[in-house]
Structure 1
Amino acid sequence: MDLLTPWRSSARTDTGKVRARNEDAFLALPERGLWVVADGMGGHQNGALASRMIVERLAELPGGSDLDRRVKELRQALHDLNRRLGKELTLTADKPDPVIGSTVVALLVEGDRAVCVWAGDSRCYLWRSGNLYQMSRDHSLLQQLMQEQQMSAEQAASQPGAHALTRAVGASETLVLEVVEFTVYPGDTLLLCSDGLYQSMSSTMLGNALSLPSTSLALERMFELALDGPARDNISAVVIRR
């Protein structure tokens, strides 16, 4: 690893207490300024395959100092995978309604520029000066109901299928990615995670963990808290600090 990189990170995944297998996958390449969390869906083999394909494909991307080029290549790789998963689906269509897909949240950094690219409900958070900011917005029916129907989070959560995803890699013919760019400062801490982590924790709990002195301590605290709860889903997180 290039020790000149100003970035430090810690990453971990856990099956949780209920699921038989782990369909999450992560990537942590601080020397290349690239981190990813993917949360597979569509049953054991399919979900694990989709998240693993995303992580393996993004790990192959070239590094370099041209952030705009890297973002373009990452987006293209995800669009290619979306098509490929669609083809895999037609080859394995022995069930009436097979799904093979995955959420993705990726973070690319270069200097003081950071770009987050995502589809689905895996999230990117920024912890800065004692405040927690959610940088990504969930692509879920819940979020859509809150935005379009002006429902409260409680009202939206009570609707049938509220946690259904409206976007994911492999979920539909056309993949629509969302992108946000922001400036990062020394001392900033970033978190990429699957919904298994944030659903079991309040913003205060997340912030308290991210305020700890190292990425490994922050990660350890979050997993302690998540696994103290019901942990009904797989849990994955990457903590990144400049």
Structure 2
Amino acid sequence: MEVANLLWHSAARTDTGKVRARNEDAFLDQPQRGLWVVADGMGGHQNGDLASRLIVESLGELDPAGSFEQRLERLRDCLHRLNRHLSLGLTVTSDNPDMLVGSTVVALLAAGSRMACVWAGDSRCYLLRGRQLYQLSRDHSLLQQLVDERGMSIEEAMRQPAAHALTRAIGAAEELQLDILELESLPGDVFLLCSDGLYQDLDHDQLGAALIRPSASLALQRLFELALDGPARDNLSAVVINR
């Protein structure tokens, strides 16, 4: 269902996809509070769905009062607390890494025209502005690290072993590093938060063309049509936010 407040209209959806037995993604869609989240439980780990659900439920319970800076600090503190909680398993299950519980997260916080994108992992935040699509987040993955640090092309990096392994996630290490990007939104901006299951088989032009649709609901519908027409090997989740 599409929900609106004075500035924002948003729509959200998740799907198990065509291959996975269960959905380890979760999302939060709170336009009235200016908060949206996508979390992707770490694939292959037991209880990844519990980790992603814990993240969105905890962020959804944050106090929406106060200044933008105070709200952003509460969001950061919440993610650090959850990381400490989930990463406790590292010490008791170090002999069995398949028992680890973790999740990516990408969150978008809004107050008036002020925005902040906060993320760890490879779930993404995009911005469509003036028919131009920008990827605001940068993946925390081995693939991206090979591109950045070794100068490989995307094609070369994808041929490396474990190229899609995450270098950051909630619960993956005792110390959590979050990336935060702050920006000013403009009328007509469209934001997309999504898990890698949605974008992995869609190119940049397909994403942009879907987001040009006249409403968040129609854009979301088109994104899922495109993704589910493909192999849909992973769970897929997306939140589309229009100003």
Q: Same fold (TM over 0.5)?
A: yes
Aligned AA for 2:56?
A: V
CA pair 118-18 structure 1, distance change in 2 beyond 3 A: same
Indicate the residue corresponding to 1:133 in structure 2.
134
Runs (5+) with no aligned partner, structure 1 = none
Indicate the residue corresponding to 1:214 in structure 2.
215
Distance 2:13 2:3 in 1: 21
Distance 1:2 1:137 in 2: 28
| Secondary structure in structure 1 of the residue aligned to 2:47 | helix
**1:38-57 deviations in whole A, cap 9, x for unaligned?**
00015464200100010010
Distance 1:94 1:133 in 2: 39
Q: TM-score, normalised by structure 1?
A: 0.96
Instruction: For residue 6 of structure 1, report the CA deviation from its aligned partner.
Output: 1.1
CA pair 227-3 structure 1, distance change in 2 beyond 3 A: closer
Say if 1:65 and 1:110, in contact at 8 Å, map to a contact too: no
Indicate the residue corresponding to 2:96 in structure 1.
96
Instruction: For residue 204 of structure 1, report the CA deviation from its aligned partner.
Output: 0.5
Instruction: For residue 104 of structure 1, report the CA deviation from its aligned partner.
Output: 0.1
| Secondary structure in structure 2 of the residue aligned to 1:117 | strand
CA pair 41-139 structure 1, distance change in 2 beyond 3 A: same
Indicate the residue corresponding to 2:203 in structure 1.
202
Instruction: For residue 118 of structure 1, report the CA deviation from its aligned partner.
Output: 0.2
Instruction: For residue 3 of structure 1, report the CA deviation from its aligned partner.
Output: 5.7
Distance 2:147 2:90 in 1: 32
Distance 2:17 2:94 in 1: 29
1:145 equivalent to 2:111? Answer no
Indicate the residue corresponding to 2:157 in structure 1.
156
Please report the RMSD computed on the Cα atoms of aligned residues, expressed in angstroms: 1.7
Runs (5+) with no aligned partner, structure 2 = none
How many matched pairs? 241
Q: Runs ≥4 in structure 1, deviation > 6 angstroms?
A: none
Say if 1:102 and 1:169, in contact at 8 Å, map to a contact too: yes
CA pair 16-42 structure 1, distance change in 2 beyond 3 A: closer
Say if 1:14 and 1:236, in contact at 8 Å, map to a contact too: yes
Q: Percent of pairs identical after alignment? A: 63
Distance 1:214 1:207 in 2: 14
| Secondary structure in structure 2 of the residue aligned to 1:52 | helix
Instruction: For residue 86 of structure 1, report the CA deviation from its aligned partner.
Output: 1.8
Indicate the residue corresponding to 2:58 in structure 1.
57
Instruction: For residue 90 of structure 1, report the CA deviation from its aligned partner.
Output: 5.0
Distance 2:189 2:162 in 1: 35
Say if 1:5 and 1:30, in contact at 8 Å, map to a contact too: no
Q: TM-score, normalised by structure 2?
A: 0.95
Aligned AA for 2:131?
A: G
Aligned AA for 2:81?
A: D
**1:67-96 deviations in whole A, cap 9, x for unaligned?**
1111110000000000111225556x3962
Say if 1:32 and 1:64, in contact at 8 Å, map to a contact too: no
| Secondary structure in structure 2 of the residue aligned to 1:118 | strand
Indicate the residue corresponding to 2:15 in structure 1.
14
1:177 equivalent to 2:178? Answer yes
